[in-house]
C-alpha cells in the first residue's frame, strides 16, 4: 500500500498529511501553528528557521503516528510540497542561514517602490509588465520584496556582491533545506508569482530581472510541478533518504488540482487567511481586462504543456475574522458564525477589511480597513455578520470579473479551505453569487493537490486516468459534496452590492 506525504506550509500554520495512494484518504496528519511578526504598519514577517522547524516537527509527528498504526517506511513513495506563495526568503549560500525574516505575501512595505514604478510607467501604469509576466506591479508579488531586501538589508546586499545570495519563495527555501542534494529549485506556479518569470516561456525573463534589479544567479531553477527535485535528507530526519521530493505547487494551484478542476471553465475558491479564486482557462494565456491575474495553474510533468488560469486574490478573509478575535469581539473563529446567525442582517453595517490595501479587482494599496453604518443599535452580532458578508462580497467581485473576462457564467463555484466549515458563510456566498456553492467532504484539497503531483512523478497517479474516469461519470450526480443554493432575489443582492461598493469608495485613499 503506497503512501504519499504532503507538506502544506501555510500563512499561519504548517501541516503534513499522509495519503493512501489507493483511495486518497488521509491516514495521518500533524499541524503546528506559528505567529507572524508585525514590525510596522502594513508590514508582516516570519522567521524562516521557525517555518522550517515546524515542517520538520510535523514530518516527525506523522511518521511516528503511521509507524504506531503498523505502516512501514518503505511504503512511503514520494513527498509533495505546497506553500504560501509570494512570501520571500533571502539566505546565504554557504552558511545556509536566512539574511532577514521572510517578507510575507501581504506585506505592504514595498508601496514606495511600486508607486515609483507606476509613476514612471506612463499610460500603462500598473500594467507595464503584464504582457510579460501576466501580473500588475504590486506589493503582493515577490520581485518588489526582493528589491526591498537588496536595497534595505546590508547582509543581503553584501551576499549579492559576494555571489552568496539565494532568494526564492517558501517552496525554494524548503526544498533546499530538506533535500540531501541541496536542490535550489522552484516550480512554475510559484515562479509565476514573482513578476520575474515570462509567463509564456516559463523562464526567468532577463528584461524583468533587470527591471527589478534581481540577478538571475540568485534565483532557483524553474521546474515543472511534478518531477523529482531531490531526495529528503536532513539531520535527524525520520525518513530514509531514498524518498523523492517529487511534487510542488503554490497553495492555490494545489487546491485547483486537488479539486480536480482539469477542464477549462472550471473554477475553485479557497477561503483561508485570504481568498483566492482560480479559473482554468486551458493551455493558452488569457489576459484580464477586469483586474485579475494571469498565472500558471499547473504543469504536471517536464514534457507536458502548462495549463493557465485567471486568478482573483483577496488579501483579508480569515484574517478579518481573526481580527475580530484579537479585539475580543469573539473568543474563537467559530463563534463568528454563531453570533452572525442570531441576526437576520447587518443592521446596515458594511465592513471593508482592507488592512493592507485591496487586491483584485481594485489593486489599491492606499485603501485601509473601514467600517461604515455604525449606530447605537449596532451589536457585535451585526459586526460578525458584516465580516462574513465582507468575505462573500469580495469573492463576488472576483466572480463578476471572471465572468466578464471569460464571457461565460459559472454553473457552480467549488470551494475549500478552513472557512468553508462555516455553513452560514457558504449560504451567504451562494446568495450573493446567484449560483450554487459546492463544498466537497474531502476538505484537504490543497494537500491533496500536492500529493497528486508527487504521485504522478512516481507513476502512482495520472491526470489521464482521472480524465477517463470523468468521461464515464459526468452525467451522474456529484457525490460526497454539500451544495448551497441561492435563496436571495437579484434585487436584494444588487441593492446590497451597491452599498458595498459605496463602502469600498470610502476605504480608498486613506494610506498616504
CA separation for the pair 149, 214 (Å, rounded): 11
DSSP string, 373-398: ---TT--HHHHHHHHHHHHHHHHHHH
With vertex at residue 465, the alpha carbon angle to CA 462 and CA 467, rounded to the nearest 5 degrees, is 110
User: Measured between alpha carbons, how far apart are the two ends of the chain, in Å?
Assistant: 58
Three-class SS state of 6: strand
Contact 101, 37 (CB under 8 A): yes
Q: How far does Cα 462 stand from its chain's mean position?
A: 24
Cis peptide before 361 (omega within 30 of 0): yes
* Beta strand 275-282 pairing with 76-83: unpaired
What is the C-alpha to C-alpha distance for residues 190 and 295, in angstroms, rounded to an integer?
9
Spell 33-54 as b/e; 16+ CB within 10 A means b: eeebeeeeebbbbbebbbbbeb
Q: Which of 30, 37, 19 is nearest to 65 (CA)?
A: 30
- Rounded Cα distance between 108 and 41, Å, is 9
Q: How far apart are CA 135 and CA 157, in angstroms?
A: 26
The span from the CA of 143 to the CA of 147, in Å, is 6
The answer to whether the beta carbons of residues 275 and 317 sit under 8 Å apart is yes
What are φ and ψ of residue 310, in 5° steps? -95, 140
Position 479 scores a pLDDT of 58
Alpha helices in 298-379 (DSSP H): 318-327, 333-340
Establish how many alpha carbons lie within 13 A of residue 492's alpha carbon, considering only the half-sphere containing its beta carbon: 10
pLDDT along the chain (512 residues), means of 10: 95 94 93 92 93 97 96 96 95 96 92 89 84 91 95 95 96 96 96 96 96 95 97 95 96 92 88 88 90 93 94 87 91 90 94 89 89 94 95 93 84 88 94 92 87 95 69 46 92 94 94 78
CB neighbourhood size of 25 (10 A): 11
8 A C-beta contact, residue 19 and residue 80:
no
216: Cα separation from own chain's centroid: 24
Inter-axis angle of helices 380-406 and 423-433, to 10 degrees?
A: 40
Residues with Cβ within 8 Å of residue 176, at least 6 apart in sequence: 96, 166, 168, 182, 183, 184, 220
Domains and CATH numbers, the chain: 3-258 (3.30.420.40), 316-438+486-507 (3.30.420.40)
d(CA 411, CA 428): 17
pLDDT tens profile 110-134: 989 998 998 888 878 888 999 999 9
Residue 415, classed as helix, strand or coil, is strand
Q: What is the DSSP letter of 357?
A: B
For 83-143, the three-class secondary structure string (H helix, E strand, C coil) is ECCCCEEEEECCCCCECCCEECCCCCCCHHHHHHHHHCCHHHHHHCCHHHHCCCCCCCCHH
Rounded to 10°, the helix 48-68/170-178 angle is 60
Length of the chain: 512
| pLDDT at residue number 333 | 86
Three-state secondary structure string covering 175-211: HHHHECCCCCEEEHHHHCCCCCECCCCCCECHHHHHH
Say how far apart CA 285 and CA 308 lie, in whole Å. Answer: 6
| Whole-model pTM over 0.75 | yes
Q: Which are the contacts of 23, defined by CB distance < 8 A and separation ≥ 6? A: none
337 backbone dihedrals φ, ψ, rounded to 5°: -70, -40
Element (H, E) at 473: helix 463-473
- Helix and strand element counts for the chain (H, E): 16, 21
On whether the CB atoms of residues 87 and 46 are closer than 8 A, the answer is: yes
Using DSSP's 3-state secondary structure scheme, residue 430 falls into helix
The neighbouring-strand residues paired with 19 are 4, 26
Rounded to an integer, what distance in angstroms lies between the CA atom of residue 103 and that of residue 292? 23
**3-class secondary structure, 465:** helix
Beta-bridge partner residues of 197: 204
Which pLDDT score is estimated for 81? 97
Amino acid at each position: 500500500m503506497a503512501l504519499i506525504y504532503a507538506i502544506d506550509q501555510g500563512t499561519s500554520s504548517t501541516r503534513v498529511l499522509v495519503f493512501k495512494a489507493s483511495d486518497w484518504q488521509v491516514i495521518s496528519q500533524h499541524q503546528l501553528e506559528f505567529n507572524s511578526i508585525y514590525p510596522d504598519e502594513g508590514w508582516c514577517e516570519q522567521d524562516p528557521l521557525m517555518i522550517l522547524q515546524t515542517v520538520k516537527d510535523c514530518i516527525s509527528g506523522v511518521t511516528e503516528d503511521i509507524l504506531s498504526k503498523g505502516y512501514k517506511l518503505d511504503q512511503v513513495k514520494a513527498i509533495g510540497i505546497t506553500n504560501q506563495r509570494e512570501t520571500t526568503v533571502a539566505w546565504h549560500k554557504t552558511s545556509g542561514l536566512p539574511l532577514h525574516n521572510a517578507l510575507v505575501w501581504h506585506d505592504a512595505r514595498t508601496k514606495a517602490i511600486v508607486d515609483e514604478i507606476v509613476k514612471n510607467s506612463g499610460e500603462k501604469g500598473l500594467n507595464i509588465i503584464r504582457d510579460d509576466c501576466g501580473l500588475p506591479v504590486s506589493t503582493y508579488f515577490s520581485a518588489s520584496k526582493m528589491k526591498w531586501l537588496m536595497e534595505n538589508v546590508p547582509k543581503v546586499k553584501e551576499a549579492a556582491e559576494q555571489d552568496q545570495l539565494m532568494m526564492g519563495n517558501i517552496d525554494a527555501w524548503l526544498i533546499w533545506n530538506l533535500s540531501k542534494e541541496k536542490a535550489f529549485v522552484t516550480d512554475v506556479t510559484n515562479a509565476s508569482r514573482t513578476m520575474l518569470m515570462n509567463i509564456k516561456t516559463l523562464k526567468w525573463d532577463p528584461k524583468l530581472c533587470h527591471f527589478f534589479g534581481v540577478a538571475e544567479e540568485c534565483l532557483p531553477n524553474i521546474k515543472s510541478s511534478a518531477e523529482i527535485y531531490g531526495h529528503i535528507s536532513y539531520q535527524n530526519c525520520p525518513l530514509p533518504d531514498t524518498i523523492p521530493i517529487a511534487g510542488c505547487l503554490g497553495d492555490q494551484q494545489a487546491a485547483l488540482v486537488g479539486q480536480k478542476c482539469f477542464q477549462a471553465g472550471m473554477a475553485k475558491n479557497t477561503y483561508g487567511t485570504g481568498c483566492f479564486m482560480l479559473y482554468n482557462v486551458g493551455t493558452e494565456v488569457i489576459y484580464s481586462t477586469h483586474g485579475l491575474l494571469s498565472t500558471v495553474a499547473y504543469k504536471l510533468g517536464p514534457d507536458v504543456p502548462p495549463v493557465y488560469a485567471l486568478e482573483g486574490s483577496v488579501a483579508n478573509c480569515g484574517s478579518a475574522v481573526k481580527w475580530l478575535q484579537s479585539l475580543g469581539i469573539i473568543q474563537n473563529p467559530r463563534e463568528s458564525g454563531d453570533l452572525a446567525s442570531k441576526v437576520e442582517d447587518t443592521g446596515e453595517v458594511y465592513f471593508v477589511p482592507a488592512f493592507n490595501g485591496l487586491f483584485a479587482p481594485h489593486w489599491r494599496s492606499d485603501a485601509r480597513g473601514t467600517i461604515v453604518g455604525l449606530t447605537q443599535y449596532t451589536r457585535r452580532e451585526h459586526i460578525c455578520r458584516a465580516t462574513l458578508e465582507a468575505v462573500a462580497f469580495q469573492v463576488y467581485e472576483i466572480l463578476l470579473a471572471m465572468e466578464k473576462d471569460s464571457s461565460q457564467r459559472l454553473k457552480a463555484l467549488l470551494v475549500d479551505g478552513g472557512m468553508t466549515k462555516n455553513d452560514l458563510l457558504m449560504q451567504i456566498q451562494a446568495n450573493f453569487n446567484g449560483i450554487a456553492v459546492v463544498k466537497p467532504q474531502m476538505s484537504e484539497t490543497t494537500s491533496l493537490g500536492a500529493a497528486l503531483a508527487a504521485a504522478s512523478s512516481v507513476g502512482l497517479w495520472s491526470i489521464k486516468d482521472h480524465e477517463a474516469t470523468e468521461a464515464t461519470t459526468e452525467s451522474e450526480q456529484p457525490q460526497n459534496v454539500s451544495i448551497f443554493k441561492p435563496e436571495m432575489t437579484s434585487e436584494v443582492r444588487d441593492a446590497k452590492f451597491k452599498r458595498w461598493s459605496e463602502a469600498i469608495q470610502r476605504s480608498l485613499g486613506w494610506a498616504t
